[in-house]
Amino acid sequence: MDRFTPPHASARRRYKQVLSTVLLLLGTLPVAGYAGSAKRPPPPAAYIAECASCHVPFPARMLPAASWSAIVGTLDRHYGVDASVDSVTAHELTRWLTENASQRATARPPEDRLTRGTDFLRKHRDVPASVWSGTSVKSPANCSACHSDGTDGAFRERNVRIPRQTPASSPRKGATK
Amino acid sequence: MNIRILTPLCAAALAAATLMAPASVQAATAQELLAQLNAQAPSPGNAGRGQTFFTSKHGKEWSCSSCHTSSPLQAGQHAATGKTIQPLAPAANAQRFTDTAKVEKWFRRNCNDVLARECTAAEKANLLAWLMSLTP
């Protein structure tokens, strides 16, 4: 900087440099983010190992914190199945699930089933009953039967493919919203 | 960032990860596990009894084969959620019976679901003897 340059010019240049760096970093975040969202970190390894071995790793945001606490507290009787974990793992799961639980829905759905929560029911209101009972779906909890990105926790509408059940009934493609 | 700082950092992280890995996984082979179970059971594992045990119900809704199919060389399907379960027989899935803690966890959970109790060492030995006898 020479003596003729106004004293604030270099500060302005520095500000521009910092701003462009921050914008560049922000631009790369969605690529690295879990489920296409920069805000959501991936679930801990224990959640994948203990929970996603039997079903897709349900997003924590789909139930209120009180439901998650109750679910982890009764894993030895988990919807008809023994899914028990040791106490250290249970503590880790409860902490992550409650910290990332739904902020909007505070009321616990019946039986703490996320498939009976108001958001889930609203999103799936156009799916015919025959789809749920079909052999390739079996259960509303079998997200990846229709959501090809369910395992990643994304659940984008464009990635929905409802499987055909029988030649007689052919559910509408993309019936979920 | 300065590469002269990053390189030792990466090396240290890698070394730490390598050193910590064996502590979290109790590695074993299916043969070692069967030998341990045989030592605990009154008699060595019997493959025929293992197959009968696996495909029979034991007073509850499910048998082992309800989820793992009666041919564990193939992938199974979770009876409740429909999720695919990778094959149980070591010949079809080399990862099976290589982590003692994981084996114990699933025996605890699944024996409770199928028999409403823990499995005995004899039952486990029979089952593993049968699974290890299977070849594609």
- ipTM (interface predicted TM): 0.77
Q: Are A56 and A143 in contact (CB under 8 A)?
A: yes
**Residue pLDDT, tens place only, A80-134:** 999 999 999 999 999 999 999 998 877 899 999 999 998 899 999 999 888 888 8
**Residue pLDDT, tens place only, A25-35:** 554 444 433 44
Helix B30-40, helix B121-133: angle, nearest 10: 150
Q: How many CA atoms lie within 13 A of B114 on its CB side?
A: 23
DSSP helix/strand/coil, B84: strand
Predicted local confidence at residue A88, as pLDDT: 96
Helical segments of A39-123, H only: 45-50, 65-73, 87-99, 118-123
**Angle, alpha carbons B45-B50-B52 (nearest 5°):** 150
CB contact under 8 A, A141 and B113: no
Q: Which of A48, A51, A82, A89 to mutate to test the interface with B (most CBs of B within 10 A)?
A: A82
pTM (two decimals): 0.72
Q: Are A40 and A34 in contact (CB under 8 A)?
A: yes
Predicted local confidence at residue A42, as pLDDT: 86
Helices and strands in chain A, H and E counts: 6, 0
Assess whether pLDDT exceeds 70 at residue B40. Answer: yes
Residues 6+ apart with CB under 8 A from B7: none
The C-alpha atoms of residue A105 and residue B62 are separated, in whole angstroms, by 35
Assess whether pLDDT exceeds 60 at residue B21. Answer: no
Assess whether pLDDT exceeds 90 at residue B10. Answer: no
Predicted local confidence at residue A154, as pLDDT: 81
CB contact under 8 A, A139 and B112: no
Q: Is B112 on the interface with A (CB under 8 A)?
A: yes
Number of neighbouring beta carbons within 10 Å of residue B3: 7
CB contact under 8 A, A80 and B80: yes
Choose the closest CB to B80 out of A76, A79, A136. A79
CA distance B89 to chain A (A): 17
Average pLDDT over every residue of A148-176: 68
Q: Is A151 on the interface with B (CB under 8 A)?
A: no
Choose the closest CB to B83 out of A76, A84, A142. A142
User: Residue B129's closest CA among B43, B34, B33, B56?
Assistant: B34
The C-alpha atoms of residue A37 and residue A44 are separated, in whole angstroms, by 16
